[in-house]
Amino acid sequence: MAKIHVDGNTYEVNGADNLLQACLSLGLDIPYFCWHPALDSVGACRQCAVKQYKDADDKNGRLVMSCMTPASDNTYISIADDEAKEFRETIVSLLMTNHPHDCPVCEEGGHCHLQDMTVMTGHHSRDYRFTKRTHQNQYLGPFIGHEMNRCISCYRCVRYYRDYAGGKDLGVFGSAANVYFGRETEGVLESEFSGNLTEVCPTGVFTDKTHSERYTRKWDMQFAPAICTGCAVGCNISPGERYGEVRRIENRYHSELNGYFLCDRGRFGYGHANLKNRPTHALVREGDSFVTKHRGEGVNLGAQLLKSGKTVIGIGSPRASLEANHALRSLVGAGNFYSGASAQDASLTALCLKVLREGPVPAATIKRIDQADAVLVLGEDTLGTAARVALALRQAARGKLQTMSTEKKVPDWQAASAADIAQHELNPLFIATPMATKLDEIAAATLRADADGLAALGNAVAHALDASAPAVSADADTAALAQRIADTLKAAKKPLIVSGTGCGSAAVIEAAANVAYALAKLNAETAISLAVPEANSLGLAMFGAPDLDAALARLNGQEAVVLVLENDLSRRASASALDAAFAQSTVIAIDHQQTATTATAALVLPAASFAEGDGTWVNFEGRAQRSFQTYDPAYYDRHVATQESWRWIAQLRTALGQPAWSKLDEVIADAEAAIPALKGIAQAAPNAEFRIDGAKLARAPQRQSGRTAARANIFVHEPKATQDPDSPLAFSMEGINSTHAVERPAALIPFAWSPGWNSPSAWNKFQAEVGGAMKGGDSGVHLFRHNGAAPYFPLRAAGQDGLRLLPLHQHFGSEELSAKAAPIQERTAQAYVAINVADAQRLGIEHQSQTRVEFGDYSLSLPAKVRVDLPAGSVGLPAGLAGIPPLVAGAAVRLGKGG
Partner 1 sequence: MSLRSATDPNYQKPLTRLIDVAAGPLGLAGYEAEGGYRALKTAVKELQPQDIQARVKDANLRGRGGAGFPTGIKWSLIPMGPDAGAKYLVCNADEMEPGTFKDRLLMEQAPHQLVEAMATAAYAIGAQTGYIFLRGEYVVAAERLNRAIDEAKAAGYLGKNILGGAWSFELYVHTGAGRYICGEETALINSLEGRRANPRAKPPFPQIAGLWGRPTIVNNVETLCNIPHIVLNGADWFKGLNQGKSKDGGTKLYGCSGRANKPGVWELPIGTSARELLEVHAGGMRGGKKLKAWLPGGASTDFLLPEHLDLAMDFDTIAKAGSRMGTGLITVVAEDQSMVSAVRNLEEFFARESCGWCTPCRDGLPWSVKLLRAIERGEGVPEDIDHLAKLTRWLGPGKTFCAHAPGAMEPLQSALKYFRAEFEAGLAVNHIPKEGDACILPDHGEGPKAAYAKERMKWVNA
Closest distance of CB 411 from partner 1, Å: 10
Count Cβ atoms within 10 A of the Cβ of residue 181 and give its class: 0-12 exposed, 13-18 middle, 19 or more buried. buried
Alpha carbon of residue 191 to chain centroid: 15
CA dist 531 and 388 (Å) reads 11
Are 236 and 751 in contact, with CB atoms under 8 Å apart? no
- Interface with partner 1 in residues 68-87 (CB under 8 A): 68, 87
Closest CA to 883 of 845, 853, 856: 853
- Interface with partner 1 in residues 802-821 (CB under 8 A): none
At residue 595, what is the residue type?
A: T
- Half-sphere exposure (CA, 13 Å, Cβ side) for 310? 20
Tell me whether residue 410 or residue 550 sits nearer to partner 1 (CB atom): 410
Q: Write phi, then psi, for 418 (nearest 5 degrees).
A: -60, -40
Closest CA to 84 of 128, 48, 38, 43: 48
Q: Which of 90, 280, 523, 861 binds partner 1 (CB under 8 A)?
A: 90
Stretch that binds partner 1, among 216-224, 264-272, 422-430, 476-484 (CB under 8 A): 422-430
Closest distance of CB 97 from partner 1, Å: 5
Closest distance of CB 731 from partner 1, Å: 43
DSSP 8-state code for residue 163: I
Stretch that binds partner 1, among 88-96, 473-481, 687-695, 821-829 (CB under 8 A): 88-96
Tell me whether residue 172 or residue 714 sits nearer to partner 1 (CB atom): 172
Are 373 and 403 in contact, with CB atoms under 8 Å apart? yes
Tell me whether residue 63 or residue 656 sits nearer to partner 1 (CB atom): 63
Count Cβ atoms within 10 A of the Cβ of residue 288 and give its class: 0-12 exposed, 13-18 middle, 19 or more buried. exposed
Tell me whether residue 161 or residue 855 sits nearer to partner 1 (CB atom): 161
Q: Which of 15, 26, 38, 97 binds partner 1 (CB under 8 A)?
A: 97
Which alpha helices (DSSP H) does 423-566 contain, by range? 451-465, 476-491, 506-522, 537-541, 548-555
- Half-sphere exposure (CA, 13 Å, Cβ side) for 295? 18
Q: Per-residue x/- marks for partner 1, 174-213, CB under 8 A?
A: xxxxxx----------------------------------
Q: Which of 23, 95, 355, 512 binds partner 1 (CB under 8 A)?
A: 95
Tell me whether residue 155 or residue 270 sits nearer to partner 1 (CB atom): 155
CA dist 892 and 854 (Å) reads 9
Which residues lie across from 53 on neighbouring strands? 76
Tell me whether residue 34 or residue 677 sits nearer to partner 1 (CB atom): 34
Tell me whether residue 130 or residue 715 sits nearer to partner 1 (CB atom): 130
Are 141 and 193 in contact, with CB atoms under 8 Å apart? no
- Stretch (H or E) spanning 301: helix 295-306
Q: Which of 23, 39, 79, 91 binds partner 1 (CB under 8 A)?
A: 91
Q: Which of 27, 56, 62, 723 binds partner 1 (CB under 8 A)?
A: 62
Residue 125 interacts with partner 1 (CB under 8 A): yes or no: no
Q: Which of 2, 421, 669, 843 binds partner 1 (CB under 8 A)?
A: 421
Closest distance of CB 445 from partner 1, Å: 23
Closest distance of CB 194 from partner 1, Å: 22
Q: Per-residue x/- marks for partner 1, 133-162, CB under 8 A?
A: x------------------xx-x-------
Tell me whether residue 180 or residue 858 sits nearer to partner 1 (CB atom): 180
Q: Which of 308, 423, 556, 576 binds partner 1 (CB under 8 A)?
A: 423
Which residues lie across from 368 on neighbouring strands? none
Stretch that binds partner 1, among 413-421, 453-461, 543-551, 835-843 (CB under 8 A): 413-421
Closest distance of CB 7 from partner 1, Å: 20
Binding-site residue total for partner 1 (CB under 8 A)?
A: 47
Alpha carbon of residue 185 to chain centroid: 30
Tell me whether residue 63 or residue 575 sits nearer to partner 1 (CB atom): 63
At residue 497, what is the residue type?
A: I
Q: Which of 420, 477, 846, 857 binds partner 1 (CB under 8 A)?
A: 420
Q: In what order do the strands lie in the sheet with 804-808?
A: 804-808, 874-878, 833-836, 858-867, 850-855, 894-897
Q: Per-residue x/- marks for partner 1, 22-61, CB under 8 A?
A: --------------------xxxxxx-x------------
Closest distance of CB 484 from partner 1, Å: 24
Q: Which of 172, 445, 640, 837 binds partner 1 (CB under 8 A)?
A: 172
Q: For residue 119, give every residue at least 6 positions away whose Cβ sits within 8 Å of its Cβ, in sequence order, or none.
A: 756
Q: Per-residue x/- marks for partner 1, 369-408, CB under 8 A?
A: -----------------------------------xx--x
- Interface with partner 1 in residues 549-588 (CB under 8 A): none
List of E strands, 756-882: 781-782, 804-808, 833-836, 850-855, 858-867, 874-878
- Secondary structure (3-state) at 588: strand
Q: For residue 83, give every residue at least 6 positions away whose Cβ sits within 8 Å of its Cβ, in sequence order, or none.
A: 51, 63
CA–CA distances in Å: residue 833 to residues 254, 814, 815, 886: 38, 15, 18, 14
- Stretch (H or E) spanning 445: strand 445-448
Stretch that binds partner 1, among 230-238, 341-349, 419-427, 864-872 (CB under 8 A): 419-427
Which residues lie across from 206 on neighbouring strands? 146
Q: Which of 417, 597, 758, 764 binds partner 1 (CB under 8 A)?
A: 417
Stretch that binds partner 1, among 74-82, 124-132, 308-316, 557-565 (CB under 8 A): 124-132
Closest distance of CB 155 from partner 1, Å: 7
Which residues lie across from 445 on neighbouring strands? 430
Tell me whether residue 128 or residue 674 sits nearer to partner 1 (CB atom): 128
56-93 in b/e form (b: 16+ CB < 10 A) is eeeeebeebbbbbbbbbeebbbbbebeebbebbbebbb
Which residues lie across from 245 on neighbouring strands? 242
Q: Per-residue x/- marks for partner 1, 754-793, CB under 8 A?
A: ----------------------------------------
Tell me whether residue 425 or residue 441 sits nearer to partner 1 (CB atom): 425
List of E strands, 91-178: 144-146, 171-173
Stretch that binds partner 1, among 125-133, 134-142, 694-702, 845-853 (CB under 8 A): 125-133
Q: Write phi, then psi, for 376 (nearest 5 degrees).
A: -115, 120
Q: Which of 94, 148, 436, 741 binds partner 1 (CB under 8 A)?
A: 94
Closest distance of CB 179 from partner 1, Å: 4
Tell me whether residue 54 or residue 62 sits nearer to partner 1 (CB atom): 62
Count CB neighbours of 655 within 10 A: 18
Q: For residue 332, give every residue at least 6 positions away whose Cβ sits within 8 Å of its Cβ, in sequence order, or none.
A: 312, 313, 314, 563
DSSP letters of 7-23? TTEEEEE-TTSBHHHHH
Please tell me the total number of residues recorded for the chain in this structure: 899
Tell me whether residue 167 or residue 266 sits nearer to partner 1 (CB atom): 167
Tell me whether residue 200 or residue 454 sits nearer to partner 1 (CB atom): 200
Closest distance of CB 140 from partner 1, Å: 21
Provide the binding-site residues for partner 1, judged by CB under 8 A: 42-47, 49, 62-64, 68, 87, 90-91, 94-95, 97-98, 127-131, 133, 152-153, 155, 172, 174-179, 404-405, 408-410, 414, 416-417, 420-423, 425
